[in-house]
Chains A and B, each alone.
Chain A
């Protein structure tokens, strides 16, 4: 006996459950919604929050979308036929809470329910970011989020170099870089953004050349200035995440103060000889830099890398961890280093995960309505007092 398409769909519908569009709309956000149509259909409009999972790959990709076999999932296509067949397949695979959207996306739109045109990737981007897209935690939506994100790097030096390179490779769409220095031969032992041809060139320009050659999707915003009380709020505003790879205490306290005004998370990295520290200071969520370090050490105990030396690979490790934390913050995945200080000792190959806490008495972040006054710090970095939030 032969069966045609119509017979197959009718047979499938006898064995699966269907859901009315309005009932699905009431449950959006609670159930997983898989759009099983082809890419060109999905790109022209889809149910908000639906995940693109074309039917041709459904059997192999479903495990990435559904963690549990009893997870509630609604499949939809254009008219409800392909999704009925796909629902039958998922049931055959052991998924027990599968529905097919009655009438599909056509009926959904006809019923006046909300839909949107998803931001999607070009075919070149699908190829470039394919290893990201394969990760269930990212997928195409996560990659789009990265492409739409804006990250500011403080410093294009030891820490800024690996952070910038990995963030650009990952497809962070806008990367701002603040640095007023020029490339020097002594930088090249660790600052992998730069090279011999760029000696004497501004670091932000050298960084822009390296990053755009690596990934033309990235828009680099060079800020060839010294960060100061006069420009810090203006420069930091509009970025989603700040990556602090500065090389002095006054700048670090200044960045902390500005981040409290703007409520922008700071991914902190700092290095000395063979040791590094990384944390995420998320304003008013976890501790700030001043909670952890109410004041800097006296200068004789805190010589710079120029005076004390630094292992060239060390910022490669610490800056890369900063890049990881930045991506987690953008995507909202995993557990970030908010409330933890990760220390690394290259000589002993030891990481320590130290617990740090927001200090309720912190002059800088203790009172959310009174952020710090923005001032030019001297070496003591003494707290300058607060202002009332406008």
Chain B
């Protein structure tokens, strides 16, 4: 069963409009590489030397990866990865 990555509205122009992308479970870093391969523009936006940029928050299930194992956090079958940049509108 694949894992799912949720793409926020502000980045969907980089995924041809897709709101979520299915990926193979594994370490988060592999998932992100996989995502970057399929959507190179998204990869360039999100990652710097394979690591998430500082404006990007990534959650595996409901936890921030900064407080798990970072990009080494395992993502299991059926789990959801949420990519969340800050938005400013009010």
- How many Å lie between the Cα of A347 and that of B85 in the bound state? 18
B67: nearest residue on chain A (CB-CB)? A357
B-facing residues in A280-326 (Cβ within 8 Å) = 292-298, 301-305, 308, 310, 315
Query: At the interface, yes or no: A265 with Cβ under 8 Å from chain B?
Result: no
A267: shortest Cβ distance to chain B, in Å? 12
Query: How far apart are the CA atoms of A213 and B54 in the complex, in Å?
Result: 45
Please report the C-alpha to C-alpha distance between residue A239 and residue B64 in the assembled complex, in whole angstroms.
31
The smallest beta-carbon distance between B28 and chain A, in angstroms, is 16
- The smallest beta-carbon distance between B61 and chain A, in angstroms, is 9
| Closest chain B residue to A293, Cβ basis | B86
B84 to chain A: which residues have CB within 8 Å? 277, 341, 343, 354
Contact B90 A352 (CB under 8 A): no
Contact B90 A155 (CB under 8 A): yes
B90 to A354, Cβ gap below 8 A? no
User: For chain B, what secondary structure do more than half of its interface residues adopt (helix, strand, loop), or is it mixed?
Assistant: mixed
* Complex-state Cα separation, A315 to B87, whole angstroms: 13
Complex Cα gap A223–B8 (Å): 34
A355 adjacent to chain B (CB < 8 Å):
yes
When distances are taken between beta carbons in the complex, the residues of chain A under 8 Å from B19 are 347-348
Residue numbers of A with Cβ under 8 A of B are 154-155, 157-160, 244-249, 252, 269-277, 292-298, 301-305, 308, 310, 315, 341, 343, 347-348, 352-357, 359
**Top 4 A-B residue pairs of the complex, sorted by shortest distance between their CB atoms:** A272-B87, A305-B89, A293-B86, A245-B90
Give B residues with C-beta under 8 Å from A.
8-11, 19, 45, 54-57, 59, 62-64, 66-67, 82, 84-90
Given A301-B45, A352-B62, 8 additional A-B pairs, CB 8 A: A247-B88, A272-B87, A294-B55, A297-B55, A301-B85, A302-B86, A355-B63, A359-B66
16 contacts between A and B (CB under 8 A): A158-B89, A270-B86, A270-B89, A272-B88, A272-B89, A274-B9, A275-B8, A275-B9, A275-B87, A277-B86, A296-B88, A297-B55, A354-B62, A354-B64, A355-B62, A355-B63
